[in-house]
Every structure is written in structure tokens, then in C-alpha cells.
Structure 1
Amino acid sequence: MAASPRWYFDFVSPFSYLQWRKLAARAEGGGIVPVPIVFGAILGGLGIRGPAEIPHKREFTYRHVLWRARQERIPLRFPPQHPFNPLAALRLCVAAGGTPRAVSAIFDWIWEHGRAADGAEALAPLIAQLGVAPEALGSDAVKATLRENTAEATAAGVFGVPTLAIGPTLIWGNDAHDLAMAALDDPALFEDAEMRRVAALPVGIRRT
């Protein structure tokens, strides 16, 4: 039996929040496994900057997120500052078992209600709501699981969040949600001749 698709995300990503609002039902049914990872570590490993680290791209990205949320009729309010350090939120997710309920609660805290999430103190009411002992966020086991998740994503070739991995196939971004759903429903989607050809297309020029 094939393994369930894995959905790699970071709470710092508003696009992850937007896609989660559409994926949550499938995850609750066991069809998709949410995997919290440290997006900053992915960027560092690739030697690239995130959208919020490039001044003009940052402004565009925030406006695009708001517009996209309105188009999709998803409530969204940015937290007090962005980017923020998501480690506490990620560790809370792991400590709460990484369940769809925990993922939804943390995303909604940050992106539906616009609350701060840059430390255990800011998240204290949510930690209590999820029934997690505050000291669990700093436990070796929780930290190790988050590192292992991020290493798994790196080994799979993840380059951004959110990413849905269906076997070895990676489908990146909320904008590609329709493609992701089509691939889930049709395992042969990428098997026709032209799909295979573009996947192996030779590189014509490389920047040095």
C-alpha cells in the first residue's frame, strides 16, 4: 500500500495557511500527513532568500496573499510582525502530536486572528488550549522531531513551503493547489510523453 502524501509546511508561511484551509478535511480523514518543518533551514541549505527577505518582493507577496485570501474567501489577518521566528509554533505543533486539530489551531491563531507567535509567552493561551505542558516545547524529543522532519524534507528535495509530496513528486505552493488535487486524484497525471519530456529537459545556460 502506498504511503500517504506528506504536506510540508511552516507556520511563518501565509501561503501554507491558505492551502491548509483547503487540505484540512483530507488530512483529518488520514489522506494527507502534515509535516511541520523549519523553512529557514531549507532556504539556508539552498543558499537562497525567502520572499519576505527581498524588499520589493516582500511588499508584493503580502499584497498577493491578502488578495488571494479574499478571492478564496478565507479570513486572513497578518500577525504584528513578519517574518517572525516560528520555532515556538512549530515545536508546539510537534508537542501536540502534529494532529490536524493542532495544525488548524496554530494556523488560525496566527493567520486568521493575527496574533503573535514568536515565542512560548505569546502562545501561552494556545499552549494551554491544546493541553500541552509549556516545558514540552523545549524538550529534546520535540526538537529532534522537528530536525528530523526538516532533514526529511531536505532529502526529498523540498525547496519551498507549502509542498505536497506524492511519492517522489513535489507540488509546491498554494497557487498550485488545483494541480495538487488533480495529481492526488490521477496518479498517472505526470506520466504522458510531454510531462516526461519537460521533466528531463536539458539546461541550455547556467548563470555563474
Structure 2
Amino acid sequence: MSASPSIDPHQPYFFFDFNSPFSYLLLEQHDKWPNMPFEVLPIDYLKLLKHWGQPIPGNIPSKRVFLYRYALFRSEQLGIPFKMPPSHPFDSSKALRLAVAAGGEIGCIREIFRFIWKEGRDPSSEQGFDDLCRHVGLPDGAKMIESEDVKATLRANVERAIELGVFGVPTFVVNEQLFWGEDTLPMVLYVARSPNWLEGKEVQRISNLPRTVSEM
């Protein structure tokens, strides 16, 4: 990898991949997010898994079934329309580059998510991607995503995520602290209101627990 981009410790981030139904559900709750200028960054989460040596969740059959059921359950709990795409995981690279090409505009990102997870469409096929480009008002999207700048930006997003320690999606980063998963939004809101909580004695103790077993 090339040198990672510089990290602003005061910049809050939100990292996502369009393969993640939980990223979709969290973005649909954007009106509940803390009032912070989050930089919303698309990343290829498979590259994160490879970097950290983690297995792909869908490769464990029982975990795959649980995750799909839990995503549906959460969508019903939250009242958010939800329809699985025809296959999963899918190749999200073109959709990710489209988000970058659109300047990371949150309205465009939300519509890409809705195309996939509200309408249940496949963004990876040639026809599906053409339909997606029309859906978000970028008919030249197929050309836009071939820009070397777009590809370099997506790679830089992954490098930034790794430098921050991000290991999955969706992940909020606030003051260089990680909050992973759709169901951590209440924790993000709590820490935004009570930032000193992270400096508390018990939080610090459990954050630095020794390991008695190096490998399982």
C-alpha cells in the first residue's frame, strides 16, 4: 500500500460498504446521528477483512443466515423498507466508485443504498449498474468510475480506515474512537453528549485488559 492519508483526529468519519445491509439501515437513520460534520467514506470492506485476517461472514453458513434474519428484523423494528438483493455478497466495487465519483454526496449515497436494499436490485451486473446510474441521475456513471482519481480515492479510503483501526462496516469514528455496527448508534449519541465517559476508570481498565491466551 502507498502511504496512508493524514488523519485529522478531530474529523468524525462514517465508513460503509454497499454490501452491508446494516450500513443502509444506519444511513436511513441519518436524522438521529449526532450533530457532527461526518465525512461519509465508501470502502471495500473485503480489503479490511483481508488486512486483519478475518473470514468473510457469508462463508460461515449459520452466520450468513443469522445476519440476513437480523437485518430483516432490525428493518421491521425501525420501520425501514427492506428487500434483499437477488444475491449476496455481490461485487460492490462499481457502486463504491460511483459514490466516490459523485463526490461522496450523501443524497446520492442514500439513493444507491435504496436501489440495492429498498428495491432489492443488483448493482454489479452491467444492466443493474446502468439502471443504478439512471436511478441516481448519473447517466455517464460507467465512464466516471473509470477515472484513475476515483480509483485512487477509494484505495485511500481503505488505507485511512486501516490506519484508524476500522475492522468492519458500518463504523463511526469519533475522536479516533471506533463504533462498529448499526446498533451502536445509541453509544455514539451517548459519547457525543458525554465525551468524558471514554476516560472513565472502568472504560480505561477494560480497554487495556491483558490477554492470557494468545491464540484460540
1:166 maps onto 2:174 in alignment: yes
2:28 — aligned with what? 21
1:45 maps onto 2:38 in alignment: no
| Preserved CA contact (<8 Å) 1:15 1:173 | yes
Give the letter aligned to residue 67 of structure 2: T
1:140 maps onto 2:171 in alignment: no
1:155 maps onto 2:174 in alignment: no
1:190 — aligned with what? 198
TM-score normalized by the length of structure 2: 0.89
RMSD: 1.9
Give the letter aligned to residue 165 of structure 1: V
| CA displacement, residues 89-146 of structure 1 (integer Å, 9 cap, x when unaligned) | 1001001111111110101010011011114531213313333522111111110000
Give the letter aligned to residue 186 of structure 1: S
1:122 — aligned with what? 128
CA distance in 2, matches of 1:22, 1:151: 27
Give the letter aligned to residue 117 of structure 1: P
Query: In 2 relative to 1, CA 25–177 (structure 1 residues): closer, same or farther, beyond 3 Å?
Result: closer
| Preserved CA contact (<8 Å) 2:123 2:132 | no
Shift of 1:156: 0.6
Query: In 2 relative to 1, CA 26–65 (structure 1 residues): closer, same or farther, beyond 3 Å?
Result: closer
Count of aligned pairs: 207
Deviates more, 1:9-18 or 1:118-127: 118-127
| CA displacement, residues 133-171 of structure 1 (integer Å, 9 cap, x when unaligned) | 221111111100000000100111001100100021001
Unaligned residue ranges in structure 1 (runs of 5+):
none
CA distance in 2, matches of 1:139, 1:30: 30
| Preserved CA contact (<8 Å) 2:57 2:64 | yes
Q: Secondary structure at the match of 1:154?
A: helix
Shift of 1:182: 1.2
Give the letter aligned to residue 162 of structure 1: P
CA distance in 1, matches of 2:125, 2:33: 29
Q: Secondary structure at the match of 2:127?
A: coil
1:86 maps onto 2:101 in alignment: no
Map 1:45-124 to 2 at 5 A. 45-124=51-130
TM-score normalized by the length of structure 1: 0.92
CA distance in 1, matches of 2:103, 2:32: 17
| Preserved CA contact (<8 Å) 2:97 2:150 | yes
Q: Secondary structure at the match of 2:28?
A: helix
CA distance in 1, matches of 2:123, 2:32: 24
